[in-house]
């Protein structure tokens, strides 16, 4: 996901440069960043909901990242 984001940052410059109406670039960039923010929030909320509940009460949450 991080590599895709890094790649897409390089694609934004030509897209903005070739826009039909360059005066809307700030608006379009804001909309793009806002949509990315919303997608991160939704993934975070889904992860929080998915890993909470009675099923995971018995799981040793501190031991998940230990090197054995």
Q: What is 34-52 written as a DSSP string?
A: HHHHHHHHHHHHHHHHHT-
The Cα-based distances of 12 to 7, 19, 38, 62 in angstroms read 9, 11, 19, 40
At 63, which helix (H) or strand (E)?
A: none
- Tens-digit pLDDT profile for residues 3-60: 777 777 788 888 888 888 889 889 988 988 898 889 889 999 998 888 777 766 666 6
The pLDDT of residue 50 is: 82
pTM: 0.62
Distance, CA of 41 to chain centre: 7
Rounded to whole angstroms, the Cα distance separating 35 from 28 reads: 11
The pLDDT of residue 33 is: 85
């Amino acid at each position: 996901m991080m590599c895709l984001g890094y790649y897409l940052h390089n694609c934004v410059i030509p897209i903005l440069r070739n826009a039909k109406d360059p005066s809307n670039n700030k608006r379009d960039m804001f909309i793009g960043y806002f949509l990315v923010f919303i997608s991160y929030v939704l993934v975070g909320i889904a992860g929080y909901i998915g890993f909470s509940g009675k099923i995971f009460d018995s799981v040793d949450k501190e031991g998940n990242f230990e090197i054995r």
